[in-house]
Amino acid sequence: MASSRDDWKKKKELEEARKAGTAPAEVDEEGRDINPHIPQYIAQAPWYVSLGRPSLSHQRPQEQNKKVYDGIDAWYKRGEGAGTNVRKFRKGACENCGSMTHKKKDCMERPRKVGAKFNNKDIKEDERMQPSFNLSYDGKRDRWNGYNPDDHKAIIEEYSKVELAKRQLKAEKLQEELISGQLSEETVKKTEGGADGLDDDKYADEVDMPGTKFDSKTRTTVRNLRIREDTAKYLYNLDPNSAYYDPKTRSMRENPFKNMNRDPTELKYAGENFVRHTGDVKEFAKQQMFAWEAYEHGTDIHPQAEPTALTLMHRDFQSNKDEFKTDLKQSIIDQYGGEEHLEAPPKELLLAQTEHYVEYSRLGSVIKGQEKAIAKSRYEEDTYINNHTSVWGSYWEDGHWGYACCHSLIKMSYCTGLSGKIARKGGKVSLSKGIREREVEEEEEEVKSLVQQHKEKLEEERKKGKKKSDNVEDESLKKEERIRAAMEREKRKEEELKAFMELDERKRPYNSMKAEGSMFPTDEEMEAYHRRKRRKDDPMNEFI
């Protein structure tokens, strides 16, 4: 015991001397000095990599195992054929299907009444022999390796069909008992509402409140949270007399820049009162006013109790009101005339007088005076590059965009001006003595008055709007026809499924529950499904 204690004291003294620099440092297997100030938990090697001598090799990068593993997507392809086309039974093959890769007890085909060994019919091809994969540590323990998500969709479809069939059978059974007199109507209503009501109450706790996202584990709501990089509302204006900020609801209803004379279009935040006048808020307010007025006239309807009925009633009222205004206007025009004055151009064009002095050229361009105000845009305008006088996209030829000033179809090219246009049309350009001769003749069009130009513009816009409305109407009619056809198909499918579920399970054909058609429904099929769907929470459900 004493010797070991002396050895430990000598070892400590040697370490102190090495740290002080009075004793030479330790040397590793490569002859390099080991820093004595390195902590022991770093310098000491684990037992499974220890070399039995001072060394820091366990802290240096080790040579990695260069063994190549298969990817995580590598898996066996079950049921894939090897491409063999055999018509006769072979010795040693499966007696049921005729494949050489398995025996009868391992066959996954439906057991035949007469096997392929005896009738030589429908010989299945051999299955492809799968190689042995070299999976990594994670690949061997991946529980979802080789799983196909499409299988889950097929299971969901099958269970939905079974659930629909169960509901239909239950409804038919209750109807039969009601007809036979075994049950009363009140009992049937309680039974229908009780089962579904119990299921709804069972999962009611898992439904989130509308407008909030509440996590019971973290106890935080994220309805009014902001991004950390955004400036807080109360920091836009530090004046205590500015817009009031409510810390409890984190709302600032008024505009904090109200008294700072700033452009409203350039403000990052203008208060929250604008939310009251956006979206469906105005429409809801109109429906509320309509409900109050209807109550005064003897119609009792409430927006919260019967929202669908109120919406339909308000829509019919608006359509009737618009039709009444149109008929009234047309009757006044038919009686007194003056329809031509409703389509008259503006007074500025009729009287040719304005408060601004403007001089126009023969072509209609402004020579002197104030031009028409140009609409603002957040994008850069009138910025030309490479000597161009027009922007890219101002010219179109044979499916390609280009510059109108030189008819060049190459973006970011240098403008060649008139010579580029003539070269595009196959003409010649003469640059001698600094004079360019243009061989393309241009016909001068007769300059029309401003009133005539305005009338022609109105006529073109009226024709375009009429043509566009006709196209939209035709397209809507075609879409409605497709939706009706989809609804008829859904109705036939439900009738076929109803008749099919009445059969005995032992008499159903093989693969009868397999889904047919495309896995993804079209837009018309989704619209037909929503129209035919019965919603029990809809207050108008009883009136359908």
Place of tokens 């109407």: 473
- Residue 392 DSSP code: T
Q: Are residues 269 and 300 in the same domain?
A: yes
**158 Cβ neighbours under 8 A, 6+ residues apart:** 513, 515
Q: Are 428 and 439 in contact (CB under 8 A)?
A: yes
| Same-domain status, 230 and 324 | yes
Rounded Cα distance, 499 and 497, in Å: 5
Rounded to whole angstroms, the Cα distance separating 170 from 167 reads 5
Do 226 and 320 fall within a single domain? yes
Q: Are both 225 and 201 inside the same structural domain?
A: no
For residues 25 and 122, membership in a common domain is answered with no
* Residue (of 80, 79, 48, 73) closest to 62 by Cα position: 48
Closest CA to 396 of 387, 388, 386, 408: 408
pLDDT in tens, the chain (544 residues): 456 899 999 999 999 999 998 999 988 888 889 999 999 899 888 888 888 888 888 888 877 656 778 877 788 777 677 777 788 899 999 999 999 888 999 998 999 999 999 998 889 888 887 778 888 888 888 888 888 888 899 999 999 999 999 999 999 988 888 888 776 666 656 555 544 444 444 444 444 444 444 454 444 444 456 677 788 888 888 888 888 898 888 888 888 888 777 777 777 788 888 767 777 888 888 999 999 999 998 888 888 899 999 999 999 999 999 999 999 999 999 998 888 877 777 766 777 666 777 777 777 777 777 666 555 566 677 778 888 888 888 888 888 889 888 888 888 888 988 888 888 777 544 433 343 444 444 444 444 556 677 778 778 877 776 666 666 677 778 888 888 888 888 888 888 778 777 777 777 777 666 666 556 778 888 888 888 776 667 666 666 5
Kindly state whether residue 273 falls inside one of the protein's structural domains: yes
Q: Report the domain count for the chain.
A: 5
Clarify whether residues 224 and 201 are in a common domain: no
- H helices of 337-437, in order, are 347-351, 417-424
Q: Are residues 319 and 229 in the same domain?
A: yes
Q: Are residues 156 and 111 in the same domain?
A: no
**Same domain, residue pair 228 and 293:** yes
Q: Are the beta carbons of 194 and 170 closer than 8 angstroms?
A: no
Q: Which amino acid is at 221?
A: T
Tell whether 174 and 235 lie within a shared domain.
no
Q: Are residues 198 and 225 in the same domain?
A: no
| Position 518 in a domain | no
Non-local (6+) Cβ contacts of 213 within 8 A are 221, 222, 223
CB 290 within 8 A of CB 317: yes
The DSSP H or E segment spanning 214 is strand 214-215
Tell me which residue range forms the domain holding 29.
2-59
Torsion, Cα 328 333 336 341, to 10 degrees, reads 140
Phi, psi (5° rounding) for residue 33? -70, 145
C-alpha dist (Å) from residue 468 to 455, 458, 460, 474:
20, 15, 12, 10
**Residues present in the chain in total:** 544
- Residues 123 and 175 reside in one and the same domain: no
What gap in Å lies between CA 535 and CA 519, rounded to an integer?
24
Asked if residue 336 belongs to a domain, the reply is no
Q: Using CA of residue 154, residue 159, residue 164, residue 166, what is the dihedral sign? A: positive
26 within some domain? yes
